[in-house]
Amino acid sequence: MPAIPTCLFPPIQPTRHGMLQVDALHTIYWEEVGNPKGIPVLFLHGGPGAGLSPQHRRFFDPQQYRIILFDQRGAGKSTPLGEWRENTTQLLIGDIETLREQFGVDKWLVFGGSWGSTLALAYGQAHPERCLGFILRGIFLCTAAEVDWFLHGVRWFYPELYEEFVAPIPEAERADLLTAYTTRMLCDDPAVYWPAARAWSRFEGRRVFLLPQPEDTASDTLDLGVGRLESHYMANQGFLREDQLVQDVGRIAHLPCVIVQGRYDVICPPLSAYRLHQAWPGARLRMVADAGHGALEAGIAKALVGATEQFKRSGRFD
């Protein structure tokens, strides 16, 4: 974990939090922070399956924003942890609408990074009338090319991590790593799915930041949520048509948006942010020259806080 950027707002505790049963299988954790009469903003975490961090509350001025955050199905404090059944993009969009109605919000600003940007775009395109605008980071459009990069292309930058990642998989299965890992992680045998989930989570986590960070032992909650749900969603291409989020951008192109992208992001490379911006000329693209993928890298955090500050003043991004 890098040092916490000084640009973030001070640590803050939720004013309310709770659990919401969204169907017979899933119960999701939610929390509300800041001014209950402020600008409503929805925070969407990455992964899928990564869950919330206390730092996520700190991108917003708590005097001006009503900040609503939740752990998506199978992630963080939501139960059952790592559950992939009854877990699709369309169901997550339904959960967001359930939360919006529970909180009595008419429209909100949608803030999401990495997979959170995917879900933000999918939600916005399904319910544009409920969105004030978007702050998006580390764009992931969930296309076949991006999934292939995540699994294979990154070996051009991190060959040693790639070798570690493929090592547990028999050579006969390595031509289709996604199927190999998904089969292991979505089985019911802990002796099989735990090693696979930890290997997957480590493969991703060690390339988040541009500069090397102290080794951080990931939690079992993060490993299982990320491993199972990322592989599940990637195997199903995010439950989206190929390139759906670019093709349908016209549904939200009238809304303000800022895209914050690390130039050296090797998890979600800049091409996706560039393609989204080309399809959405009204969006503002902030390419951070000295950053990778992490929201807590100094340049990315500064750009994100700058965006929330600008939106609270004018309701747009210049």
The CATH number for 74's domain is 3.40.50.1820
Same domain, 45 and 150: no
Residues 6+ away with beta carbon under 8 Å from 173:
179, 180
CA torsion through residues 225, 230, 232, 236, sign = positive
pTM: 0.97
Same domain, 27 and 113: yes
Q: Which of 26, 56, 232, 293 is catalytic?
A: 293
Q: CA nearest 111: which of 134, 138, 87, 139?
A: 134
Can you tell me the distance from the alpha carbon of 228 to that of 198, in angstroms, rounded to the nearest whole number? 10
Structural domain ending residue among the three candidates 192, 213, 237: 237
User: Does 99 reside within a domain?
Assistant: yes
What single string gives the DSSP state of each residue in 224-256? HHHHHHHHHHHHTGGGS-TTHHHHTGGGTTTS-
Same domain, 135 and 245: yes
Q: What is the mean pLDDT of residues 63-82?
A: 97
The per-residue pLDDT for range 272-284, each reduced to its tens digit, is 999 999 999 999 9
pLDDT class of 215 with cuts at 50, 70, 90? low
Same domain, 136 and 187: no
Whose tokens are 């990495």? That residue is: 114
pLDDT of the residue at 214 = 72
pLDDT of the residue at 219 = 79
pLDDT class of 218 with cuts at 50, 70, 90? low
Domain that holds residue 270: 16-142+239-314
Same domain, 64 and 138: yes
Active-site residue, 45 included: no
Q: Is 138 left (phi over 0), alpha (psi -120 to 50) or beta?
A: left
Same domain, 244 and 137: yes
DSSP classification of residue 75: S
DSSP classification of residue 212: -
Active-site residue, 272 included: no
Active-site residue, 127 included: no
Integer CA distances (angstroms), 299 to 4, 261, 265, 315, in order: 12, 10, 13, 22
Q: Which of 114, 117, 231, 272 is catalytic?
A: 114
Helix (H) or strand (E) holding 179, with range, is: helix 177-185
pLDDT class of 217 with cuts at 50, 70, 90? low
Can you tell me the distance from the alpha carbon of 132 to that of 307, in angstroms, rounded to the nearest whole number? 14
Can you tell me the distance from the alpha carbon of 73 to that of 50, in angstroms, rounded to the nearest whole number? 10
Integer CA distances (angstroms), 312 to 49, 61, 62, 317, in order: 29, 9, 11, 10
Radius of gyration of the chain (CA): 18
Same domain, 129 and 149: no
Residue 213: pLDDT over 90: no
Number of domains, the chain: 2
Residues 6+ away with beta carbon under 8 Å from 107:
40, 129, 130, 131, 132
Structural domain ending residue among the three candidates 237, 261, 281: 237
Same domain, 152 and 243: no
Q: Which of 232, 265, 272, 277 is catalytic?
A: 265
Same domain, 255 and 208: no
The per-residue pLDDT for range 5-21, each reduced to its tens digit, is 999 999 999 999 999 99
Q: What is the mean pLDDT of residues 306-310?
A: 97
- Average pLDDT of the chain is 95
Structural domain ending residue among the three candidates 211, 237, 263: 237
Same domain, 129 and 253: yes
The answer to whether 227 touches 198, Cβ cutoff 8 Å, is yes
Residue 151: pLDDT over 70: yes
